A and B are shown apart, each in its own frame.
Chain A
């Protein structure tokens, strides 16, 4: 079943997640409800401890919510994980140093049992997609940080999951590399029409990339604002100097500040 354009791919209703720690329970997520539609690019932004990464991990089935419901492609998150419904990109590239770049991209394909020929086709295709075609035979530690992160995105794309979950993927990179990768990511999203959930703590990055910006705040982790971006799908880098862009950025900043006031 291919979901149509306005059906929700990820749907959370009244999601709660409480960690039991030694001294007091920590409310990582409280009453989080959100629908993400097919083809959306959703950013989660907020200060540390607001639960944005925890929410992403819930969607990935890496954490189990303690209350509420969460469906991914109409299944529970854990079923979706087993059905390999998404590709996940971590804060660090996390490539295996003992495998070449191509070998790293093959890793999920080997685990999922793709044929050898199919593996090679897919590796070539996604390497091309992230513009690393000439580097397949290199080892990760021979590449720059930005290239490593591109390789890890290729790894998440290789098995054609419709959903891409990205947890501050560019957080550790410098501004110039980050701008470049943002541009590339947008182009990739336009071409592949994937649904992307993207965690960040950079306001410009969130506004530049997203169709929907989810502002979160901590203690307890919750959603304080959801902003649907009026920006067009085509976004050159200098869109960041337009009044529309600055206005959305302003609203995000206000939302973040409001979340802080009730500390």
Chain B
């Protein structure tokens, strides 16, 4: 209770702020609509209203406040509008429907998971190579580290279009971008992990005359697990972002990224917010799942 209470307070404060902001964000459009429907609004001139401050408009037209929470196309949807839309597009729609968020979420999620698996696998293999070969270490590692300072995401549209032009479409191009984004954090984290055993532990194995292979399986690999899981969490979040951004130039309006893009084209704020919340829940669940796996694995290894 002592832990939950402050968190709940902060969350409640965020929602309170959100609700408080809705009238000010939506007042202009609301007044235009009400005026058209015959209500008397102050000032009654749309141009004057455009230049007036939202604060004054809300004060002078307090009767319009309830209406600001029920706009068809609000600038800032109220939380309950987003919740309603989420309910409508997840539970109430068949998952095969083009208007179901579950359908779009799955499209994004499948690309994320495939990419994440590829990226992680390749990352671990490269890390093992780097730890075993000095030449590889010195050649590749500086580039792997430097690449983390570069906005790799910027090449997403290009990869999509290039792969498209050679006939690869759908899941695979997005998965490649996801893989690419999760790859580098895993390489860097895993190399760090495989190098985690200190000199004394390595010397102990030397006194047993253990082979390199034995050293890897019995010492380096177990020691790397905490590092691996830490980078998996970063990697999966990056993979999801990659999949979403990869959906932007595809233009097919499929996936969560596609929902955001079409929402932005047609001014459907509620749709963007639902997609955003859905993506957030997805990201949080993925990180949580890896956290659970981490706890179980480390517990079995006696590391926690």
Q: Is any CB of A less than 8 Å from a CB of B in the complex? A: no
